[in-house]
Chains A and B, each alone.
Chain A
């Protein structure tokens, strides 16, 4: 009926020329048509013009957000007489935190036990029981060395009873953003206003971590070639992550229950990959647009090309000769000679040494291990070889030292340096070793000399902007920095083929 009516001839009704009444009336019809028509064009255009979706999410898109920490000015009124009082105040609101910290190696200074082939019992490694080739031994020298421990109330010797007490956890060393420093025996330095420090607490900054890790080995840049105070306010050329992107240590070394991701091979034998921070946590594994570069990834660690040199801003210590300590060879000068420590060599823009490295250690010197004093003793030795498919060529700083050993027992000695009777006061090596025997039980024959030791430090920070990365000819040329034959190749793999 309706249809007939509409199609019938009817008198012309005058209506506004532009009323569009028909359009409005039939909106459903033509709108559907419009959508279908546009879709018929747009869909093929979208389908055929779309480019393959980039699988790689740019790491820049997932940069961490740094939130402003809750102000503790009103929460921590003070005054506090001791560090322990501050900790007690912290624990009233954060009751589990001290217990968490006490389970970490920042507290225990000791790794989990490792079962090592050739050693009868499982071993642990840490400042609590082992030595390095810098200041040699923390234990016995608690007075000074514990300024880098997250706890208070140390005493000399091996008892370490302070580690049982939750109140000894030093919250401030990692969280205070100002007005805090540690003094002797792990306690706050003299004259610190602990209330000011406590009110400034926040998530750890680079300087919190840097207070110990920039100064590892006893001073700025001593231990690490890739960590020093230039990372406080880094430029992009120093460290592209911390400089250009302002990343904090904890952005990569992510923390759960105060357990921090990322392990140092110097104080561990085996580090499970999931415990370690990896470039691929943020970056795609085959990130290079240049296929030729991606073919390197099986054998070359990211760090090898992207950290072409260490200590780009501040010098790092390469050599430490304890044998000249006390001799007053020259006026004390920070970078060359100190009477208490001996002779040094520092260097900037250091080209790393390159080894096959699978993330673990092949060897760690344990107190009492006998040495061959005619040859350098490896304090640690990275594990990996050309035939180890999990190993990659990796950059290391090698710190070389001449340090004391017992010529009768043929093992390295751990002198007591700090404290009133320590070597730094008496300049009497003999006395320093006898004190150590007393405090640590390391038997001393009465005969000592000095022997060369090497310690390997993986280079993984101070990643430089990509334009500074190594280029082909930095390795593949007559002047190349890799010694192919030492690495186990018959010759340059560009000519002779890879592994």
Chain B
């Protein structure tokens, strides 16, 4: 049984308890909040009268409220309206058609006023066009819910900027929009107070509630609900923001929730697992929809007024470098009188209004000590430079987002065919299973010039374009409807062309212009309406994803998320599973995001269109590799393997034939390798083996991922440093001891000797002939070995150390690494040399078996003493040298 959480009687008891003791916490009574306004709804804001456009109290005049006059009593509303891109909507930046830098030739600005968005489709036609889609007044009416007033709306329809929308609790945007769409512009702003108890709708108009006002004509304190914009205020136009303790539920798929619809972003402090959504694997999503909302931040904490003296940033362009903080700023009173309504903003791809304010907002790293919290991440800076914070901290979107919009066809309801990503089922209700989606990672260019991969949704749209005398235009919805419908039903020609299953009716699956025939039928209909050259066009818009940040434990932190074949960076995103064929969509509206990549038709029926972004300038270990390097390297290794196998096989065969036939002569024990030489050799052996193996793990985690990518990186780096140290020490040893000579080929007669040695390996070895050059302590290497080791130790090893160091130091001394070609060059080069090493090791190990017994040389390198066959060419120098006992 479930009873009311907090019975009413508790209110009284709590009050009594307060009187008794100051430390009693009053139980919160939710029910109490929902009813009549609290005693002091807005404690800081003074009471005020509502004034009409003439400056008269509306109680006297009965006229609509003028926000500019009412709020203008104390605040400089002219200044506010003139400093607000929310009011301006790009109007002041708009240029005549054809002159704007916006992405489509018929656009006039990048703001809501004068731009064209295929999602909303309707078009504010330039005056003088022969076919007008929206007149300015119609534009205001159609966009009523998204226009705050002022700017073009005031110029067109006299709509003042509506302060109430953003600064009062629960304004009625719906009532206001309803008034606007019916053309009642004068009362629209007053209508936004409906429901507050201040004004009510009568049969014929609006009436003010005298009880809401004092005798002096000011609002009663209980009705003064003025505050900083809350998330709910912003959410009216921008997307879903949920703050109540009730479980969040939304089916999404609503363009009125713009940001949620286009990206799936939801701003709520609630844990996803505790929301009421039908989400796949919901129980595991035990973190907030938006970490910042959970931590009590609100929209305006980041998107603050740019002259807010509390939040205004120092270190702006106008500030000398030598100044860290400039205390000269507005006094509070000055700010409250003239608060700029230009707000700090990021750099979303779509709306480029007020471009001078782009990235005026604080970035992640302006508030967060990212180096501190990411110390666990190897190559922290390198990762931070290449990967935007959002990439790892917004790993997944858990709401439907629009995927594609096909305006080349119309549904029976005269709507486009819309696809949504991140959701299974198409009922559009809560019962659809939300599967969420992984954003695509595009390379974003930041205002500071740096670039990093950041998450985006891609929205693809197709539509008809025709040539108006004044230039190309999108086909008006009105014309499109005329092309498809007659008398409210599909035209017979349309049904004939599109009715794939021949049942005489069109279902959504059939609404697709996937053949030239179907396209030409619709084009014919449009032409018949008098449209010149109707043609299909397609575009892709990237929508940046910056909200819905999660904390570390829910963020991406596994190396293999990117360092593997299935790397998130460069991973493809489905653009659409439908749409017309024969017209590839092109990217638009993405000034800050690189959109290079590959658009591909999927194999399955050819209907799925995907986009795989290019990863420019990045080399992801474990994901990227240069095919020819690996091919060549593998070939070299296999070639050597085949070579030594053939050679070894022949030796075995020969040896079997010539059983017990050993070279004549005797065996001499020589102390060949000093302790240090042996240590150096074996240290190098183990180090190279370990490096080769861990290097392979890093190179191909898809094959060897079970070893552990992160651990391999750490071991690889440490052993690499050890190897370099070992090499340096041995160089010193060999130089000082003079042993270096053994590695230096003597120019005189070198080639002759090399030929002799080659001949021995090819022929003499099989005949059990003695080695042509005796191995002595001073001259351990034959000419072939000399040239090989010279190459290995003086060319390959230094190269490998150098490229390795440049890669290791990619964030410590990035200039050097960049100068050397950066990771995209260094890493494949390093791989190539590694392959050479691998090939050499095989050859080297094989050649050690060519001593007088197969293990003799290895034994010598282990114990120092070598058994050297004595033959006629012995120089005998070794005999006279004093020699230490084994194990010295």
Contacts and interface: CB of A to CB of B under 8 A. Distances in A.
Interface string A60-98: 000000000000000000000000000000000000000
Contact of A481 (B1, B28, B243): B28
Interface on chain A toward B: helix, strand, loop, or mixed SS?
mixed
Contact of A29 (B28, B687, B886): B886
B328 interface: no
Contact of A23 (B20, B675, B722, B855): B855
Given A8-B669, A49-B711, 20 more contacts: A10-B666, A22-B865, A23-B859, A37-B679, A40-B683, A41-B686, A41-B719, A290-B551, A315-B1, A315-B3, A348-B3, A350-B5, A355-B25, A471-B288, A481-B28, A483-B28, A486-B18, A486-B23, A486-B24, A486-B25
A34 B296 contact: no
A133 B361 CA distance: 58
Given A33-B679, A488-B22, A49 B714 contact: yes
Interface of B: 1-7, 9-10, 13, 16-28, 30, 33, 243-245, 269, 271, 273-274, 286, 288, 293-296, 551-553, 660, 662, 665-671, 675, 678-679, 682-683, 686-687, 690, 711, 714-715, 718-719, 721-722, 853-855, 859, 862-865, 867, 869-870, 879, 883, 885-887
Given A33-B682, A41-B722, A12 B27 contact: no
A488 B23 contact: yes
B387 to A, nearest CB: 22
B271 A467 contact: yes
A351 B5 contact: yes
A289 B887 contact: no
A356 interface: yes
Nearest to B3: A347
A103 interface: no
Contacts of B30: 479
Contacts of B687: 41
A344 to B, nearest CB: 10
Interface string A457-499: 0000000000110011110111111110011100000100000
Contacts of B863: 22-23, 26, 29-30
Q: Which 6 pairs, one residue from A and one from B, show the smallest C-beta to C-beta distance? A: A467-B286, A473-B269, A30-B862, A26-B863, A29-B887, A354-B25
B25 A472 contact: no
Q: Which of A11, A36, A48, A480 has the most CB of B within 10 A?
A: A48
Nearest to B713: A49
A355 B24 contact: yes
A376 B20 contact: yes
Interface string A1-43: 0110011111111110110101100101110011011101100
A335 B24 CA distance: 27
A339 B54 CA distance: 70
B317 to A, nearest CB: 31
A44 B725 CA distance: 12
Contacts of B666: 9-12
B862 A479 contact: no
Nearest to B244: A479
Interface centre among B7, B296, B552, B885 (most CB of A within 10 A): B296
Contact of A289 (B5, B553, B879): B553
Contact of B3 (A15, A346, A472): A346
Contact of A345 (B7, B20, B662, B721): B7
A14 B662 contact: yes
A12 to B, nearest CB: 5
Nearest to B683: A37
A443 B630 CA distance: 100
Given A49-B718, A467-B286, A477-B269, A482 B682 contact: no
B294 A471 contact: yes
Contacts of A353: 24-25, 27
A479 B16 contact: no
B95 to A, nearest CB: 44
Nearest to B678: A33
A3 B4 CA distance: 100
Given A33-B682, A319-B9, A472-B294, A7 B670 contact: yes
B669 A6 contact: yes
B338 to A, nearest CB: 25
A470 to B, nearest CB: 11
Contacts of A26: 862-863, 865, 886-887
Contacts of A17: 853-855
Nearest to B868: A9
Contacts of B853: 15, 17-18
A490 B291 CA distance: 26
Nearest to B867: A22
A385 B22 CA distance: 9
A335 B33 CA distance: 28
Nearest to A396: B25
A486 B26 contact: yes
Nearest to A482: B25
B382 to A, nearest CB: 19
Given A7-B669, A351-B5, A355-B23, A18 B855 contact: yes
Contacts of B1: 315, 335, 346, 348
Nearest to B9: A319
Contacts of A481: 28
B862 A18 contact: no
A381 B23 CA distance: 10
A477 B296 contact: yes
Nearest to B284: A467
Contacts of B683: 37, 40-41
29 contacts: A6-B865, A7-B668, A18-B855, A20-B855, A23-B863, A29-B886, A33-B675, A44-B721, A49-B715, A49-B718, A347-B3, A347-B4, A376-B20, A378-B20, A384-B23, A386-B23, A400-B13, A452-B13, A471-B271, A471-B288, A473-B243, A477-B243, A477-B296, A479-B244, A480-B28, A481-B28, A482-B25, A486-B22, A486-B25
A452 B13 CA distance: 9
Contacts of B859: 20, 22-23
A475 B6 CA distance: 17
A241 to B, nearest CB: 18
Contacts of B714: 48-49
Contacts of A48: 714, 718
A292 interface: yes
A95 to B, nearest CB: 49
Given A23-B855, A349-B5, A375 B686 contact: no
A314 B25 CA distance: 25
Contact of A487 (B25, B271, B862): B25
Contacts of A7: 668-671, 879, 883
Nearest to B553: A289
A455 interface: no
Contacts of A10: 666-668
A44 B863 CA distance: 25
Contacts of B4: 347
A5 to B, nearest CB: 9
Given A20-B855, A335-B1, A45 B719 contact: yes
Nearest to A400: B13
Given A11-B666, A12-B662, A18-B855, A376 B7 contact: no
B661 to A, nearest CB: 10
B23 to A, nearest CB: 5
Contact of A483 (B25, B273, B870): B25
A403 B388 CA distance: 65
Contacts of B18: 486
A396 B286 CA distance: 26
A36 B675 CA distance: 12
Contacts of A18: 853-855
A481 B551 CA distance: 24
Given A40-B683, A454-B17, A477-B269, A356 B23 contact: yes
A318 interface: yes
B21 A12 contact: no
Contact of A292 (B25, B295, B671, B879): B295
B3 A345 contact: yes
